[in-house]
Structure 1
């Protein structure tokens, strides 16, 4: 018989649902890199090797929580694996890449970290509905944004970069910008959904997110936020249209997206030069030119998972000397996939994305009770962010964990949505709000 609560020595019981909710929220907070890296960083924002070692310690409780929850829900976990075989296939790639990696120990160590991140994604996908996950993020991201605002008031020097831009409780302004952008999406989704009854709090967190976004000055996050609101309109229109109308809307949206990408490729740099702005996109353009040359040298299998950007790689060292700064990654998620796995990794990843986008749109149009809008918008947002940042396959990273959870959740619900409005694979559970209460 399954035990659904734990009894402490003094008598009170703690439900497993409360453990799941609190554990997931705390795990996402730690994996976001909030507060602790800021405290351990040097004055210039860099982390020493000893600081990095300390930052690995909070990961172990997260790993333990993940394993315990998956063991308790092992049948659902196996079903999630079967519903989307591309995810475990791609997860095997980092381990396989140790065979051709230029730094096998580095690749293996980071592949293990990625494995536990994806396992946490499975926990989120099988134990939370989209609306429950929305509320979980509303609380977790809300705490990050509110703490960032408070820190900027209490200790402006600690909460600011050397150039004066705001970084809040994060180590860099861009990270604050990413999470502020997600907070704006989540708060907007709560307002649109209306079923959680948190409109006043949502307005407050929406305003706080906008303040943090503007103060961070992260152009990637600002563009992603603008795209998010366009996507909210697109998916809302898609849901209200007929089957033929949906085809027309999708074709128009795809053509418009391609036209925008072509225009950016051809005219963005000249436009920035004409406006007197940084035409290199903060050093990204010359970095990408050098990265593309390295990709062409090992285009089939790449250099091994995250093995390229290490001091042991002479090619990376030469690249850093040419551009004048030590780039930690390619500042483009798609290029980093090619560096790690080559075309053999990019092909299944693209297939995974196309499949997830189609499933997500189908669920949004035909199964509105679970609140799929924000997950669809979030997925595309991350694709946009990776045009100038590297979030794909990042170990111990909340954004990639949520991105993978969204893909798993799409594949988990899609096969059963036409059969039942309440998926039979998921065991009945109390709502998230009640699950956060310890009884």
Structure 2
């Protein structure tokens, strides 16, 4: 739970780095966390290594990011953050393999409940920290720098809580409380992106749960209706984007995001195959970032789009690699949606939908310290782990079930076609 909270940036960032910059104190705080991560992996090494395809994928991403150090515009930052990305990625793969079935969404739900309660304390007891004071004045931000950060974390918690309820194991009180609190905090941010992600996460969990209970005919009808509605929605958005954005309370430039993207794509055109180095583009002394800020007229902190941010860091090879992993994760998760989906309350496929939408609005891809990216890697690890690991866990919930006594063995063969004498021990 501590490592997950650290990945969200809750409280520690606003206290030790109020200007949102990287400080020596923050680096020191992460060192014991890295030690904990290594200890957890060592304790369950054989289990964690079952997801060896996911480890190879992470190794490839780390290798590409490290190689960018040689053409990075800020090699020192690239070198440090590659290490951080490797460590947090390793922790994500540990989560995906060590916490199978419903255990991972339940852990996320419990962690989100703690952070939701902490955010309420900050909002009402320490409003100078928990509530925006200048820009976005009056909107809640809880334990984080900005309202969007709280919205992202609360959406993850709400989706996990809904999955725990859908799993139907009888433990509903904590998930129900978490779902209510996290949903209220998402609404308090007034973040349209977070609200859409919340609707997608809860909607997918509810849809798959309903289809499972409705039978095969009902499932086919729901899938057909879903495809039709999605097709109509995409057509309307492509033909009348201004109307859709106006209905959502957004201006056609998406609060200036389109201007940022246009400027960034011109920078991508200058280095399409290499990028400017992993996590190096947005430095304070970055000349390419200075051009973007000059063209847009404000101090742009990020691309506000994960895929474009990935392009300026690692070029098209990085974007294609991450896109391939996402497609793989979705495909394998859908293939295993039967028994595995029921056990976890359809959390993985629901969060993948949330993550896709989030990546189009926020810079969450291949992050060196980000909960959304860590959860994506955890889902990838679950998808690429041998199915026998999950099956063996689900078939033997009782640790004494596998123990065969003399009487149990005799009962098994009492009505068999041939009675053989039991071996005398």
TM-score by length of 2: 0.84
Query: Which one of the candidate residues 142, 146, 151 is aligned to 1:172?
Result: 146
CA pair 292-307 structure 1, distance change in 2 beyond 3 A: same
SS in 1 for 2:157: helix
Residue 36 of structure 1 pairs with residue 12 of structure 2: yes
- Residue by residue, what CA displacement relative to the aligned partner does 1:245-269 show, whole Å, maximum 9, x if unpaired? 9788767756754653454354333
Q: Is the 8 A contact 1:269 1:280 kept in 2?
A: no
Unaligned runs of 5+ residues in structure 1 are 1-24, 431-439
CA distance in structure 1 between the aligned counterparts of 2:322 and 2:218, rounded to whole angstroms: 29
- 1:271-310 equivalences under 5 Å are 271-272=244-245, 277-310=250-283
Rg bigger for which structure? 2
Q: Is the 8 A contact 2:14 2:20 kept in 1?
A: no
CA pair 246-407 structure 1, distance change in 2 beyond 3 A: farther
- Residue by residue, what CA displacement relative to the aligned partner does 1:221-250 show, whole Å, maximum 9, x if unpaired? 101111123322443366568899978876
- The residue that corresponds to 1:422 in the other structure is 392
- The residue that corresponds to 1:375 in the other structure is 348
CA distance in structure 2 between the aligned counterparts of 1:383 and 1:364, rounded to whole angstroms: 18
CA distance in structure 1 between the aligned counterparts of 2:64 and 2:119, rounded to whole angstroms: 37
CA distance in structure 2 between the aligned counterparts of 1:138 and 1:206, rounded to whole angstroms: 8
CA distance in structure 2 between the aligned counterparts of 1:275 and 1:361, rounded to whole angstroms: 30
- The residue that corresponds to 1:130 in the other structure is 101
Query: Which one of the candidate residues 328, 348, 356 is aligned to 1:355?
Result: 328
CA pair 117-277 structure 1, distance change in 2 beyond 3 A: closer
Q: Is the 8 A contact 1:308 1:339 kept in 2?
A: yes
SS in 2 for 1:58: helix
TM-score by length of 1: 0.81
CA pair 295-367 structure 1, distance change in 2 beyond 3 A: same
Q: Is the 8 A contact 1:190 1:196 kept in 2?
A: no
Q: Is the 8 A contact 2:162 2:202 kept in 1?
A: no
- The residue that corresponds to 1:104 in the other structure is 75
Q: How many residues align?
A: 396
What is the root-mean-square deviation of aligned Cα atoms in Å?
A: 3.0
Unaligned runs of 5+ residues in structure 2 are 400-425
- The residue that corresponds to 2:284 in the other structure is 311
Query: Which one of the candidate residues 191, 204, 211 is aligned to 2:184?
Result: 211
CA distance in structure 2 between the aligned counterparts of 1:108 and 1:257, rounded to whole angstroms: 42
What's the CA shift for 1:359? 1.2
What's the CA shift for 1:203? 2.4
- The residue that corresponds to 2:92 in the other structure is 121
- The residue that corresponds to 2:160 in the other structure is 186
CA distance in structure 2 between the aligned counterparts of 1:350 and 1:275, rounded to whole angstroms: 28
CA pair 230-210 structure 1, distance change in 2 beyond 3 A: closer
CA pair 251-61 structure 1, distance change in 2 beyond 3 A: farther
Q: Is the 8 A contact 1:303 1:340 kept in 2?
A: yes
CA distance in structure 2 between the aligned counterparts of 1:196 and 1:136, rounded to whole angstroms: 16
